[in-house]
Each structure stands twice: as C-alpha cells, then as structure tokens.
Chain A
C-alpha cells in the first residue's frame, strides 16, 4: 500500500525549506507536495520516492513527521477522467480527506492520490469498478 509523508509545520517563512533541505541532503526525491493549512499551522504532505527513509530522516532531525496510507489510482488524462473515480467514491459515501493529482505526459495518463479513512475498502471498490491502482513501487518511481 503506498504511503506519503505528513509533516507538521508552522505557517511561517522557511518552514518548507527546512523540510526540503533535509530531503535534498539525504538524496530523497519529492514526487508531489501539497499543504493543508489551518491558519497558524498546517500539514505538508510529501509523495517521496523513498517514503520510509524520508520519514526517518525528518524525524531524526526533530520534525514531527509520520507516514499515512494513501490510495493512488490511474485515470485517463481526458475530460471526465477524474469524474468517473470521484463519482464512484461519492456513490459509496467515501469521504476524500486530502487529494491531489498529476499527469504523466508520455503516457497520456493521470494519477489521483488521496487519503481516506478506510483504504482497503476504497481500493476494493476502485478495483472492482475496473480502475487500476498504482502499487508502492509504481507510484514512487513514476
């Protein structure tokens, strides 16, 4: 099951660069980044090529960091592509907590990555509906 790194950060200048500096120094590549902000503080979510190692590096430098399970599903990079997946989740009352997507140019495909409460159930629903999920290896090395 793929995972992303969640990092606590105060909403102040220099807080992202402190995280990216540690990852860069440890030769860890960031595939995607999002920030959920709650005013004074927020959570930086990082999709890394080596999430376990990244998480450990950050923790060892005193940063509040943890790994969160995510669902990553392949969708067509065309109008309505994301809608198909989103409507399936909606029909099954699955609440998407945090989501982002990115396209893979050469394959004319896109990846939708998100957090939910029940990851196995969500994965099962998507697989049964014919969606292709990305494994850890596939996602990290895209």
Chain B
C-alpha cells in the first residue's frame, strides 16, 4: 500500500525529529553559501542555535528576488562540479532564477515523485503520457524521472500538438496523463472533435499541475475524461513537481515532509499562522545538497489541513492552491509577472505607460490581451506603421514571457493612469 511505509506512516513526533535533524544539516550547508553566510552574519544568526520549529521563525525568509540577486550560483552549497542538472524559471525582470541539483538531489527528487505517484495507485504497469513542458521548466522532466523510477513507461510527449497527443493515446494506451487543467479542457474537446469518445481511451488517472484550478473544474475534467483527477504541486525553487501530491483519497495534497518543512504565514505581516488557517505557504528544503533554500516564500495561498488523512500517511496535507499573494499570473501553465510586460511597454516610445492585462479562456485555452495607449506625441498617422508596431510589441513580449498575447491599441487617456494602485490585471477566466 505504501512505497516507503516507514517514512510515509512515521509517527508525527518522529517526522518532526527527522525534520529538525535534516534542518540542522541544511542550515549548516546554507551557512556555507555566499548568500546565506553573509545574510546570517549580518543578521547575527547562529544557525547552531536553531534547533526547533519555533526557532525557525528567527530565520529571514528567502524570496524569488533573493534568488535572482544571487544569480547564478550564490546559493549553491557544493562545488559546481558536483552538480549534474540545472533548471530555471522566469524572473520578474528577465533574469531567471536558477536551481542546481547534484546526482543525489536528482535521485531523491525522482524517489519523491515515484512515491507520490504510488500513493495515487500508480504502479510499474502504468503508462504515463507526460504532456507538460520539458526543458528549463521542471514540470515535464520532474514527473518523467519519477515515473521511470517507479518503472512506468513514459511517453515524453510534452505540451501541445494535440493531434499527435491523440495519436499517441490511441497507439500506446497511456493509463495516466500529466497535463495542465487548461490544456486538458482543450484537448478533450479536440478528442471529441475527432469523433473519439474520451472514455474509450485507457486513461484512468490525470495529474494536474502548474496552475490553480477549482473543485468544479476538477469534477468537470473527471467527467469529461472519465478519469480520477489528482493535484500535483511544485515549484522549481523546491525541486519542481512532487512537493505535494494528492493521494488515492483525493482529499488534499500530502507534503513530502521528509523533504520540506512547511509553514503558513500571513503574507502581510510575515507572522506564522496555525495549521488550518489560510495564508501563504513557506517551504524549507531540508533534503537537497546543491541548494538548501531556507524559508522560501512561495507566494502560493493555501492552508494546512490539520486532520489526518484516512489513507494512513502521516505527512500533512495542503489544500489545492487558492491563488497568489503577489501579482504573478499563470497563463497556460506559464508564470508571468505584470512587471515583465511593463518593462516591454515602457521601452516602446510610440505607446504610453498605461496598460491593462486581460485574461480570458477561449475554447479551453488561455488568452492574454494587453491594452496599451497610443502616445499622442509619437503618433505619425500611418496605419501600416501601427500594424508593424503591433507585431513588434507582440514579438518582444513573446520573447520575454513565452506567451503570445494579443496587443490592442487604445486611444490616449482611455486607460486609468499608472499612479497609485490602478488595477492592471483582469482575470476573466473561470477556473
């Protein structure tokens, strides 16, 4: 029933002991890095004094910006020759946040994912069609290694190219799919459009990740596909997918507590909140050699479910992510910060500084519309020049944020001014 019953059903007291033991190791490793050694020295923190969960509150948070500032390897605790992999996610101003892994880290991560998949009922006989992006993004490759570790056949089909996805499904009969909820909504319609009944495929389970979605969407997807839906949570800073995963009960995602120490904080004050209260998830990675990241502010809003799960696992669960405590938006599984869009807009003289980002879902796919104003002083009265300008802006944005938006030109003064707290993002998607 368990992949590793000793770890998965460990009594709470023992889990906490294990966590503190691993925390000590992680803090020592962190204190050897360029970034944390300076941070702790300046803050007068002696890491050997941090021996309890309560003590941890003395440690400063680590943010995405801190990772960016220590680009590329200021938080790495091993010689780079010991690392075997890196992944990166987009940063707010173009510079990526990079995560390094040693061979042990990669093996551990694979084990963590294999264990989570096992808890959903996956076995070596299963076939996984992995429709997440491969590459610098961790979504595809993270599940890939875990499924291989479990012994599954993996179809590394990556995202997109729906007709090929369907062909692979018909020819190789995957029993599990890993996919973003928005792409799943789209793909099922394409399948039906081909005259194929999605229920006639052999797929039994769907792992959904990379973007928030509601219970209603989960139910809808289960019905449309004829599968059981399991949520998968992760972020590259904490390895990638597999940080928390639904078990067979589908009643909240178990955090791999032998890998992470989770905390919930009030995003405004930074104060720790008790289990059961909704707030921002903060994670400390206590089982990674290359990059021991301490008290990382995920910006994801959720709550820890205090009750124990009937599956028998003792690792606590979190609820599906409710939203973000910053302005990051997720479009088709890709993380986008409005500030990235702003940077592009500010550097184009023909348009003004005000903008609006409108998110919509058309036929199951996320669409981003960006409204910008024509800048009067640079207006040349030439329609062709405007059309070319529009194309150029779309291309510049696409290059930076990966998503291809539609850019709409507006008359000067038609958007609210940039001073103060103008609402910039309008998310009209139903999740």
- Interface residues, chain A, with chain B CB atoms under 8 Å away: 6-10, 15, 36, 38, 40-43, 45, 59, 62-68, 97-98
- The contact string, 1 if C-beta is below 8 Å from chain A, for chain B 392-431, is 0000000000000000111111100000000000000000
Nearest B residue to A98, CB-CB: B383
Nearest B residue to A4, CB-CB: B381
Q: Is B374 at the interface (CB under 8 A from chain A)?
A: yes
A64 engages B383 (CB within 8 Å) = no
The interface size bin for chain B is: 10 to 19
Chain B contacts of A38 at CB under 8 A?
Answer: 383, 386-387
Give the shortest distance, in Å, between A113 (CB) and chain B (any CB).
14
Cβ-closest 3 pairs across A and B:
A6-B381, A64-B379, A66-B381
Give the shortest distance, in Å, between A38 (CB) and chain B (any CB).
6
Q: Which of A42, A62, A98 lies in contact with B412, CB distance below 8 A?
A: A62
- Interface residues, chain B, with chain A CB atoms under 8 Å away: 374-376, 379-384, 386-387, 408-414
Chain A interface, >50% SS class: strand
B410 engages A65 (CB within 8 Å) = no
Q: Tell me, in angstroms, the Cα distance from A42 to B381 when the chains sit together.
A: 10
Q: Tell me, in angstroms, the Cα distance from A140 to B336 when the chains sit together.
A: 52
Nearest A residue to B406, CB-CB: A40
A64 engages B374 (CB within 8 Å) = yes
B409 engages A8 (CB within 8 Å) = yes
Q: Tell me, in angstroms, the Cα distance from A119 to B412 when the chains sit together.
A: 29
Give the shortest distance, in Å, between B384 (CB) and chain A (any CB).
8
Chain A contacts of B383 at CB under 8 A?
Answer: 36, 38, 42-43, 98
Query: Among the interface residues B387, B408, B411, which one has the most CB atoms of the partner chain A within 10 A?
Result: B411
A10 engages B376 (CB within 8 Å) = no
With contact pairs A8-B374, A38-B387, A59-B376 given, residues A64 and B408 touching in the complex (Cβ less than 8 Å): no
B381 engages A10 (CB within 8 Å) = no
Chain A contacts of B410 at CB under 8 A?
Answer: 10, 41
Q: Tell me, in angstroms, the Cα distance from A81 to B410 when the chains sit together.
A: 40
Q: Tell me, in angstroms, the Cα distance from A45 to B382 when the chains sit together.
A: 10
A41 engages B386 (CB within 8 Å) = yes
Give the shortest distance, in Å, between A117 (CB) and chain B (any CB).
10
5 A–B contacts, CB within 8 A, in A order: A8-B412, A10-B414, A62-B412, A64-B374, A65-B381
Give the shortest distance, in Å, between B181 (CB) and chain A (any CB).
30
A40 engages B408 (CB within 8 Å) = yes
A65 engages B408 (CB within 8 Å) = no
A66 engages B412 (CB within 8 Å) = no
Given contacts A8-B374, A41-B409, 19 further A-B contacts (CB under 8 A): A6-B379, A8-B379, A8-B386, A8-B409, A10-B411, A36-B383, A38-B383, A40-B409, A41-B408, A43-B382, A43-B386, A62-B376, A62-B412, A62-B413, A64-B374, A64-B411, A65-B376, A65-B381, A66-B381
Q: Tell me, in angstroms, the Cα distance from A9 to B374 when the chains sit together.
A: 10
Give the shortest distance, in Å, between B120 (CB) and chain A (any CB).
46
Chain A contacts of B386 at CB under 8 A?
Answer: 8, 38, 41, 43
B387 engages A64 (CB within 8 Å) = no
Chain A contacts of B382 at CB under 8 A?
Answer: 6, 43, 68, 97
Chain B contacts of A62 at CB under 8 A?
Answer: 376, 412-413
Give the shortest distance, in Å, between B408 (CB) and chain A (any CB).
5
Q: Tell me, in angstroms, the Cα distance from A68 to B380 when the chains sit together.
A: 8
B409 engages A43 (CB within 8 Å) = no
Query: Among the interface residues B375, B380, B381, B414, which one has the most CB atoms of the partner chain A within 10 A?
Result: B381
Q: Which of A41, A59, A68 lies in contact with B381, CB distance below 8 A?
A: A68
Nearest B residue to A59, CB-CB: B376
Q: Tell me, in angstroms, the Cα distance from A98 to B384 when the chains sit together.
A: 11
Q: Tell me, in angstroms, the Cα distance from A41 to B383 when the chains sit together.
A: 9
Nearest A residue to B390, CB-CB: A38
Give the shortest distance, in Å, between A46 (CB) and chain B (any CB).
11
Chain A contacts of B381 at CB under 8 A?
Answer: 6-8, 43, 45, 65-68
Q: Tell me, in angstroms, the Cα distance from A85 to B409 when the chains sit together.
A: 36
Q: Tell me, in angstroms, the Cα distance from A36 to B381 when the chains sit together.
A: 11
Chain B contacts of A98 at CB under 8 A?
Answer: 383
Chain A contacts of B375 at CB under 8 A?
Answer: 64
Chain B contacts of A68 at CB under 8 A?
Answer: 381-382
Q: Tell me, in angstroms, the Cα distance from A119 to B414 when the chains sit together.
A: 34
Q: Tell me, in angstroms, the Cα distance from A9 to B379 when the chains sit together.
A: 12
Chain B contacts of A64 at CB under 8 A?
Answer: 374-376, 379, 411-412
Chain A contacts of B413 at CB under 8 A?
Answer: 62
